[in-house]
Amino acid sequence: MENQPFVVTPEGYNRALNVVGTKVTVLASNAATGGYGITFQQGDEGTGPPPHSHNWDEAFFVIKGSVEFSYGEKTMSAVPGTLVHLPAGTVHSFRYGADGGEMLEVTGPGSLASEMFTAIDQEIPPGPPDIPKIVEVLLKNGVTLAE
């Protein structure tokens, strides 16, 4: 299938997915673009994924609030206008700061992020998360939790 131009306007967005407390709107999946994926993410203070890695590059652009990123031995607070690039295989995590935050996420070729976010939304009910089930969904979608 040949990659085709497309436009997604706010009224055309799919509903935001509930990914263990983070609202994730898939703007363009890797399948749709033929290469990269783009999501819009919104989280409340203290929410975010534990340390993990995957075999695709990932970049975040903070739009609103602050987000604390950890990768390798480093931890930094990203404010609006900050771009964080994480190469494939980098163990990383993030937490939304005071008053929460918003950011764009761009994933590289081979990413299963959109599929993973959709599976978590469908298989993990709101409330206290079923950790073994989350781990199962992550592993199915190419994400490994760090020990």
Using a cut of 0.85, tell me whether the model's pTM lies above it: yes
Contacts of 16 (CB under 8 A, 6+ apart): 23, 24, 25, 42
pLDDT per residue over 88-126, tens digit each? 999 999 999 999 999 999 999 999 999 999 999 999 988
The whole-number pLDDT of residue 130 equals 85
Distance CA(65)–CA(98), nearest Å, equals: 7
Q: What amino acid is encoded at 2 in this protein? A: E
> Looking at residue 2, what is its pLDDT?
75
Which CATH code for domain 12-126?
2.60.120.10
- CA angle at 75 for the pair 93 and 135, rounded to the nearest 5°: 15
Query: pLDDT under 50 in the chain at which residues?
Result: none
